[in-house]
Chains A and B, each alone.
Chain A
Amino acid sequence: MSRDPVANRVIYGRTLAELGAKNPNIVVLEADIAKSTNTFQFGDRFPDRFFNMGAAEQNMMCVAAGLATTGKIPFASTFVMFASLRASEQVRTSIAYPRLNVKIVATNAGVEICGDGVSHQAAEDLAVMRAIPNMLVLSPSDPVTTRIATETIAEYDGPVFMRLGRQDVPYLYEDDVQFEIGKMIRVREGDDLTIIATGHMVTQAMQAAGILAEKGINARVLDCHTIKPIDVEAIVAAARETGAIVTAEDHSIHGGLGGAVCEVVSRHHPVPVSRMGVADRFCSSGRDWRKLMAHYNLDHAEIVRQAEQLMSERKRVCR
């Protein structure tokens, strides 16, 4: 069954509207970008439970917190940049600290948003959100897991941060894929090294694995949809069984998926880890997101390069 690529934010909006029909406690807050975040899909059907708070993200986060104290299940959406940095202290102190049942679902993650440029390219959110206690941090890769993640967090009692991309992404899974919070999905088997990717980088990782296979390198690919709590077991198994890891994320190489993996590996089973991501720099606008990603070494070619580098270093060590 092949389905056309679609943006995860579109799936989020659709799923949210479906959930709204089932659960009258769900309310949605938005900060004047409903057409982008896709919360309009909920707002059109349930105008009485949809609150567009305008361009006032800090207020929105605390209003969501207050609503949660009254038994509502608020979903608060805006761009990742504003949810994670503009309003990060509100998220920390008014939502995460009292462990209120607020779902922050932020869209337009990473450099892939291209055209809008640096002010909108969030590459720090995973680092920030991961450092906040009580937060569940999700970054699904494809439309199916985005739908399941949205449904799952509606049932979960506690604060959640979920980042979604802007661009269309291909379906990686069938509808009945096993998705469990905190458990990576093994998308491809392999013993030579492991690529752990998150968000749309899982697609790049699969492409990279294909190229590596032609070169005789068998890469395992893990879809890390839950950044926190990180799947320690899967990482340790990857380190033990494959001996080298490349991480791939549309996020800074500091503090995000790569950081989380290194924290686990360094303690439990030290092996070389190479981090592919935004290399501690501000990027730029771009007209074509794929070209922009390639320009900043944020694509499958870079994963291949880093994987080969790890393999050659390992050979040198073995010799």
Chain B
Amino acid sequence: MSMEQPIIETRSLNLFYGSFQALINVDLQIQDRQITALIGPSGCGKSTLVRVFNRMNDLIDGVRVTGRVLVQAENIYAPSIDMIALRRKVGMVFQRPNPFPLTVAENITFGLEVHRSLPRSEFRRMIEESLKGVLLWEDLKDRLDAPALGLSLEQQQRLCIARVLAMKPKIILMDEPCSALDPIATMKIEDLMRELKRDYTIVIVTHNMQQAARASDFTAFMYLGELIEFGETKSLFRTPRVKRTEDYITGRFG
């Protein structure tokens, strides 16, 4: 495996919910502009790990993190970190599509207003650009002022990706982004991820082994809070090095 400078790197990362240790000594390197899939049985810590990267775990009382987490070589758990800038750089898409109960356009301009990253006169252009980025522009260009909650689930999830794109992030975290969608919508979102890979780093949590195999470049297999195996998706699925990984991807447990 040839590695460039990784865009995300964890070193002996441990995470505790109170006294329960949810991540154990995780050392992981995520490459720029690649799709990295996190797989593993329920409760193994996949969501916990992606929520480390944008520090969403901070919202939960009693969470404690040790070790180092570097995003673009910057320690994001350093006291001096600018959380707002971090969350602009590391966007997140959730399991259930959760557009704001606002209009389509307002969903996209929310991030722009929060970060004051663009003058108002540019909002229109950015709405168009972000919606085009998720292939929604043709469908929605006449419905920019329609309520976002009136869209189909797939459209809502695309809109959630679009509002992240509008912030010009480097990394997009997706926690089971397709689990509320039907198979056809799932395929379309996977196609979209391959499009986005040209400009963004994507980390996707998935329960769906086929999805990981189809859509990702690298795969990390986790079990009970530990990173068991990490490697290029092709080789991990074809020739897993660890017995436990093999058992999981062949469906013997999980």
Co-complex (A, B): no
Residues of B bordering A, CB below 8 Å? none
